[in-house]
Amino acid sequence: MNPFVIDFAGGMETKGVCVGSKRLNICLVCSHGGHLNEMEQILSAFEGHRVFYFCYDADTTRRLPTAYLVPNMAKNPVEMFKNFFRVARIFRKERPDLIVSTGAEIAIPAVLVGKLFRIPSLYIECGAQVKTPSFTGRLMYWLATEFYVQWPELLAVYGPRARFEGSLIDEAPRS
Given a cut of 70, is residue 18 above it in pLDDT?
A: no
Provide the residue range defining the domain that includes 36: 23-164
Given a cut of 90, is residue 9 above it in pLDDT?
A: no
Is residue 18 in a domain? no
Q: What's the pLDDT band for 68 if we cut at 50, 70, 90?
A: very high
The DSSP bridge partners found for residue 26 are 51, 98
Is residue 8 in a domain? no
Given a cut of 80, is residue 69 above it in pLDDT?
A: yes
In this predicted model, what pLDDT tens digit does every residue of 142-174 receive, in sequence order? 999 999 999 999 999 999 999 998 888 665 455
- For the chain, count helices (H), then strands (E): 5, 9
Q: What's the pLDDT band for 89 if we cut at 50, 70, 90?
A: very high
Distance CA 55, CA 72 (A): 9
Sign of CA dihedral 72, 74, 79, 82: positive
pLDDT mean over 31-52: 91
- Looking only at the bridges linking them, the beta strands covering 12-14 and 4-6 are antiparallel
Is residue 3 in a domain? no
* 14-19 CB contacts, 8 Å cutoff, 24+ apart: 17/97, 17/98, 17/120, 18/97
Supply the DSSP symbol for 48: T
| Total number of domains constituting the chain | 1
Is residue 175 in a domain? no
CATH number at residue 73: 3.40.50.2000
The pTM for the full model equals 0.87
> What pLDDT is attached to residue 175?
54
Is residue 169 in a domain? no
| AA letter at 128 | A
CA distances, 141 to each of 48, 56, 124 (Å): 28, 22, 10
Is residue 101 in a domain? yes
> What pLDDT is attached to residue 21?
65
In this predicted model, what pLDDT tens digit does every residue of 101-124 receive, in sequence order? 999 999 999 999 999 999 999 999
